[in-house]
Amino acid sequence: MNKEFYFCYSGHLSKFLQSKGIRYITKAITPNTNQMFTLFKVTDELSQALIEYKPIKEARIAAEIAQ
């Protein structure tokens, strides 16, 4: 399956991707859940940034658990 778009439901991740210079297509709210998401086009740059973000996410979760 070839995914053309990436729906990002994490504010932290969305900010990280934008800090990497990755521009989003739109921000919107899912009607059924009222949850905000940011829509990105899937590119090699996005895929690499998602790989880079994984340890950041894990560290953030570990810090939240430790509190």
Query: Average pLDDT for consecutive 10-residue bins of the chain (67 residues)?
Result: 87 97 97 96 97 91 86
Q: What is the pLDDT of residue 60?
A: 86
Tokens (6 digits) for 48:
């690499």
* Residue type, position 8, single letter: C
CA dist 53 → 29, 41, 42 (Å) = 23, 17, 15
Contact between 13 and 53 under an 8 Å Cβ cutoff? The reply is yes
Q: Please give the pLDDT value at position 2.
A: 61
User: What pTM was estimated for this model as a whole?
Assistant: 0.84
Answer for the pair 37, 7: CB distance below 8 angstroms, yes or no. Answer: yes
